[in-house]
Each structure stands twice: as structure tokens, then as C-alpha cells.
Amino acid sequence: MNQLLQLRKLLYSLGIVDPVRFPAPVVSVGNLSMGGTGKSPLVAGICGELSREGKHVLLLSRGYGRVSNEPVVVPRNGDLPSPSLTGDEPWMIRNRVPGISLLVHRNRAVAAESVWESLSGPQIVVMDDAFQHWKAFRDCDIVTIDATEGLDGMVLPVGRLREPPEALDRADAVVITRASEVSPVRLAELQEKVAALTRGPKPEVPWKSPKLRELPVPVLVANMELEGIADSTGRMHDLEELRRRPAVLFSGIARPGSFRRTVEEAGFRVVHHKILADHAWPEERDWTDLSRIRDLEPGCVLLTTEKDFARLHEEFRGFDFLHTLVGHRFRGQGWQELLRLLREVAG
């Protein structure tokens, strides 16, 4: 564990810093590493399921990459502001699950506490990217691990891990994502490693309820899967018709290769993929390149990710982009196991 996290943990353990407690159950979804692990589609799926079951869900997010430092509060029936104000991932999730409340702020726990009454009583809180956000007291920690990365690597600042793998002993459920992108042998090795790290007793920490401490930790496996393709109005398009056209991809995400594989596994013929850095904004030359590629591929379909659509749809300059909607297809009864855990928390 890096020195900053060690210091923070000590401050909480000594009672010098106290976590914020909400009058509703709290579910955290996070990871051990920097970069994309397929967490956002899982958060959207969890929010959607809880909302369909009649729960008033409050999503808390830091809003990485947004232009404002001011808190953004969107009531469950409120209009969604520009993604430049919310950040692309919170915008994407709220756009997909419109019946939830949303709060975005760097210090999301304190901000949520200050506006709680104005949100008309959320019944459950879902915190995005919060495994290390100990300022908020929680009842459940769900951790995602990208199968293509596993648990290898060094801890920050040398490597990409925020905490060492041993921190998984705090998890209440682990979801291994992008499982279809690695060999069965490598996947089995990762499952065994995660199971060993989560098998022992969970530690007592001051930012966590003991509610799930005695329950076994499910290690769930999921594949990233294309669920549909939509236009800027949200209208879904026929996949069979789109597959007949060459596909040109455009993305600025942490795992562009995973995006391409997901599209190709859905039966598309990808002829070009314009790749930007994660969260990068296109420059003039990028639009020029894309225009040239489009002219070279008559009848092509321009596809971008849901995350890129959230971030860039106001800047598309007349390009007729469609965006992919991806989700997790859990193996076996994995999704049902996760739902049972969530219902245990939600009550």
C-alpha cells in the first residue's frame, strides 16, 4: 500500500477522521487498479436493477475529467446537464438509467450529506469508483478486476495498482470482467488467486458496516457483450442491417482493444479504428482523418463507445455517429448471486 493510503488508513483507525454516514444503505463499486476495468457498465446495471425494483437510487461519483469543481446535483426527475459539468461516466450512467438521482463532486460524501434532504430521501446509495474512498461509510464493497490485467503489477507510483492485491480481503464480491479475452487457463489461475485472497476473515475497518462480514465472497466471472447500438436520440438500430456495412471505430478510452474485440465478436467487419488517449479531446487533425477515412469507405457505419458519446456528442461536427451499449454477461448464476447480495444490503 502506498504511503498516502497508509496514512489515511491510520487516521481513520485512530478516529482522527470519521467517515460520513448516510441514512440509507451504501454500495461501493470500485477496483484495485487505475484505468478501465469495465466498472461503469456494472454500475449502470446495478443502478438499473435497483431502480426497476422500486428503489430510489442515488449515484455518487467524483466526475473525473469534468471542467467544473462545483457540485452537480441531479434529482431523480431532473434534467441531465452537459457531460462537461458531470464528467462522461456519470453522464453515461444517468443517461442510461434516467430514474436515479446523481451527485458529482470531488468530495462526494460530504457534498451528498449537505444536500441529502433536497433529494427526497434516497433509499440506497451507489458509489462509483469508491473502494479507496473511505470518507463514506458503506455496507458493501464490490470490486472489479480486468481479466486481461489480472492482479500483476506494482503499486502506485511505480505501477498501476492503487492497493496491493491483499486489499481484496475487504471485498464483499469480486467481478472478473472481460473473461472471454483471456485463455481458460489464465482465467482459472486468476479465479484461484482471487478466491485465496478473499477466503479469510474480513478485517474490521471503521468505514464499513459488519453486515456482510460473515458471508462468503462470491468470485463472479463476466464477459463484455454488445447489447445494442443507438443514435444520438437514443433510438436503437437493427444490428443485422448494420453488420452488412463496414465499421469505422472512434474511441478515447483506456481499453480500445476491448472495444474493437466486442464489436468484432458481435459480427462487425472493422476496417479502421481511430484511437485517442483515454479521456482525450479530438484535435482538428483527428476530425480531418476521420473525414478522409469515411470518404474511403462509402456506406460505412461510424461507431463510438457510450462513454465517448457522453463526452463528445456535442462536438461531433455533423458526423453521424452511432454508439455501442455494452454490458456484462455473467457466467452461470453470477448475476443472480450479485443481486442476492444487493438485496441483502438494500433490505
pLDDT band at 38 (very low <50, low <70, confident <90, very high): confident
pLDDT band at 1 (very low <50, low <70, confident <90, very high): low
Res 2: pLDDT? 66
Overall average pLDDT of the 261-284 stretch: 92
Res 139 pLDDT > 90: yes
Res 305 pLDDT > 70: yes
pLDDT band at 154 (very low <50, low <70, confident <90, very high): confident
With a CB cutoff of 8 Å and minimum separation 6, the contacts of 316 are: 232
Q: How many Cα atoms within 13 Å fall on the side-chain side of residue 17?
A: 16
Query: Nearest-CA neighbor of 139 among 201, 82, 215?
Result: 215
Q: Report the CATH fold assignment for 225-326.
A: Rossmann fold (3.40.50)
Dump pLDDT digits (tens) for 59-97: 999 988 788 888 999 999 999 999 889 988 999 999 999
Res 172: pLDDT? 98
Overall average pLDDT of the 243-256 stretch: 94
Dump pLDDT digits (tens) for 225-234: 999 999 988 8
Task: Write the single-letter amino acid at 92.
Answer: M
Overall average pLDDT of the 266-279 stretch: 94
Helix (H, G, I), strand (E, B) or coil at 9: helix
Taken in order 9, 30, 113, 91, the sign of the CA dihedral is positive
Say what the pTM is: 0.92
CATH code for the domain defined by 3-224+329-346:
3.40.50.300
Res 316 pLDDT > 80: no
With a CB cutoff of 8 Å and minimum separation 6, the contacts of 35 are: 160, 254, 255, 278
Same fold yes or no, 3-224+329-346 and 225-326? yes
- In this structure, the number of other CB atoms found within 10 A of the CB of residue 201 comes to 8
pLDDT band at 15 (very low <50, low <70, confident <90, very high): confident
Taken in order 286, 289, 293, 299, the sign of the CA dihedral is positive
Taken in order 108, 109, 115, 116, the sign of the CA dihedral is positive
The residue extents of the domains of the chain are: 3-224+329-346, 225-326
DSSP calls for 219-279:
EEEEEEEEEEEE-TT--B--HHHHHTS-EEEEE-SS-HHHHHHHHHHTT--EEEEEE--TT
Measured between alpha carbons, how far is 53 from 320 in angstroms, rounded to an integer? 36
pLDDT band at 331 (very low <50, low <70, confident <90, very high): very high
